[in-house]
Amino acid sequence: MAYNFEFYAPTKVIFGKGAENETGKLIKAFGASRVLVVYGGGSVKRSGLLEKIEASLSTEKIVFRELGGVVPNPRLDKVYEGIRMGKERGTDFLLAVGGGSVIDSAKAIAYGLAEPEHDVWELFAHTRTARKCLPVASVLTIAAAGSETSRGCVITNEHTGEKRAYDDNLARPRFAVMNPEYTITLPDYQTESGCVDIMMHTMERYFTNGGNMEITDALAEGLLRTVMKNAVKPHHNPGDYDARAEIMWAGSLAHNDLTGCGNDGGDFMSHKLEHELGGMFDVTHRAGLAAIWPSWARYVCNECLSRFVRYARNVMGIAAEGSDEEIAEAGIRGMEEFYHSIGMPVNLEELGIHPTDRQIEEMAERCMAACGSHTGSAKKLAKDDMIRIYTNARNSK
């Protein structure tokens, strides 16, 4: 039965060729006057995108400052640097030019500037909730995290090794500029692993034991099939605009909550388990998800069997007859084969990490602490379950 739901997706999307030229006008329409432009390690300089965005701001006579140097698994110290800079300059709008790490850093800076009397990390440590957040927008350069339309924000405290999420509608971006042409400079690994994150955001909402709607399932299954079909195309033809457009739009729809309407809020334990891998080993979020999912899926499968069968049939195209358990296993194997076909790992060994028993226990402890009351939907996990999933993931073949 469909559960009651609220769907809130306020981000204005400007999609397609030349969309970046609208940025200055959009910011002006939102009434901003002093903008902090946040970016990463330099890809937006090399592609010429940053220069274009800044020209668009200058045309509208918008004062801006730059903060570069955000790294993947974005760090708390960079957020503090942004907050200091924003305070000095009277920043009233955050513009992220880049991917999820840059957007999340901009969101965290926006929280910090809106309530400067508090330490922003308290949000990620879940010791308080935010009451305010400055407006944030993005010019997206990689389809993956979905932060351009999501309420999520994920920051790593490099001093404690904790990678933590804070979710709040206050940080939903005001607008997202998406020109798929700017993803052409992405290395294949980034494009393909981005597809894993997009699929995982959909699958986290799909494998649930509460509240299902035919329309939501159909959207989710269509999204998954579309991403699988297009994920490999840029490798053969980097300039395939249509494939890049499909992937980019899927990235936003996968994480703006559309594919969760009517269910119980989703499982999200693959993400929670992965965040501990990111905090301890600094692995790429999306590759970490591919490496943990098969172990998670096999561990919870029997408690969410009808969903795994449906997924095997409707997403992986498994036509063979057999018991529900066999069909579900065929669906999981199908996903492993797909991940391999795009160069993704399906266990921790392939991910290139070898956690010890002690490290696994520590990750499980931290994961339990980070989860609070929500420890899954396909199956509610306890610490021992998490230990089993990490242990089985060492080499799940």
> Could you say which of 11, 43, 105, 347 contacts ligand NZQ (CB under 6 A)?
43
Q: Which is nearer to Zn ion, 251 or 331 (CB)?
A: 251
User: In terms of Cα–Cα distance, which of 211, 204, 209 is closest to 261?
Assistant: 211
Please give the size of the binding site for ligand NZQ, defined by CB under 6 A.
35
Minimum CB separation of residue 154 from ligand NZQ in Å reads: 4
- What are the distances in angstroms from CA 341 to CA 33, 186, 200, 235, 270? 47, 18, 16, 11, 21
Each residue 101-140 as x (binds ligand NZQ by CB under 6 A) or -, in order, gives xx-x------------------------------------
* Radius of gyration from C-alpha coordinates of the chain: 20
Minimum CB separation of residue 321 from ligand NZQ in Å reads: 36
250 to 289, contacts with ligand NZQ by CB under 6 A? 255, 271, 285-286
Contact present, 32 and 243 (Cβ < 8 Å): no
Stretch that binds Zn ion, among 27-35, 87-95, 197-205, 346-354 (CB under 5 A): 197-205
- What are the distances in angstroms from CA 342 to CA 142, 226, 339? 17, 15, 5
| DSSP-assigned states of every residue in 342-391 | TT--SSHHHHT----HHHHHHHHHHHHHHHTT---SSS---HHHHHHHHH
Each residue 60-79 as x (binds ligand NZQ by CB under 6 A) or -, in order, gives ------------xxx-----
Minimum CB separation of residue 306 from ligand NZQ in Å reads: 26
> Could you say which of 197, 204, 246, 329 contacts Zn ion (CB under 5 A)?
197
Three-state SS for 197? helix
CA distance 387 to 397: 17
Minimum CB separation of residue 251 from ligand NZQ in Å reads: 8
19 to 78, contacts with Zn ion by CB under 5 A? none
With tokens 């339990």, the residue in question is 368
Strands (E), 216-290: none
Each residue 133-172 as x (binds ligand NZQ by CB under 6 A) or -, in order, gives --------xx-xxxx--x-xxx------------------
User: Is 179 among the residues that bind ligand NZQ (CB under 6 A)?
Assistant: no
Q: Which of the choices Zn ion, ligand NZQ, none does residue 295 contact, using the CB cut-off of 5 to 8 A by kind?
A: none
Contacts of 355 (CB under 8 A, 6+ apart): 280, 281, 348, 363, 390, 394
Q: Six-digit token pair at 316?
A: 């992986």
Instruction: Please report, as ranges, the residues that interact with ligand NZQ according to CB under 6 A.
Output: 40-44, 72-74, 98-102, 104, 141-142, 144-147, 150, 152-154, 182-183, 185-186, 190, 194, 197, 255, 271, 285-286
